[in-house]
Amino acid sequence: MSKAPAKKNDAVDLLDADHVAVKKLFTEFKKLSEAGAPEEKRKALADKICMELTVHAEIEEQIFYPAARAAINDDDLLNEAEVEHASAKELIAQISAMSAGEELFDAKVIVLGEYIDHHVEEERNEMFVKARKSELDLKGMVQELKTLKEELMANYEVSA
48-100: pLDDT as tens digits: 999 999 999 999 999 999 999 999 999 999 999 999 999 999 999 999 999 99
d(CA 55, CA 74): 24
Does the pLDDT value for residue 4 go beyond 80? no
46-57: pLDDT as tens digits: 999 999 999 999
Predicted pLDDT at 157? 75
Predicted pLDDT at 30? 97
Distance of CA 121 to the CA centre of its chain: 12
Phi-psi region of 102 (alpha: psi -120 to 50; beta: other; left: phi over 0): beta
Per domain, the residue ranges of the chain are 11-159
Considering only 23-32, 128-137, 151-160, which range has the smallest mean pLDDT? 151-160
CB 67 within 8 A of CB 136: yes
Angle formed at CA 78 by CA 72 and CA 80, multiple of 5 degrees? 145
Predicted pLDDT at 115? 95
CB 128 within 8 A of CB 138: no
CATH number of 11-159: 1.20.120.520
Sign of CA dihedral 2, 130, 59, 81: negative
Instruction: Kindly indicate the confidence band of residue 1, based on its pLDDT and cuts at 50, 70 and 90.
Output: very low
Residue 74, SS3 per DSSP: coil
Average pLDDT score over the chain = 93
Residue with the larger pLDDT of the pair 7 and 104: 104
102-150: pLDDT as tens digits: 999 999 999 999 999 999 999 999 999 999 999 999 999 999 999 999 9
Cα–Cα nearest to 54, from 95, 3, 13 = 95
- Record the pTM: 0.92
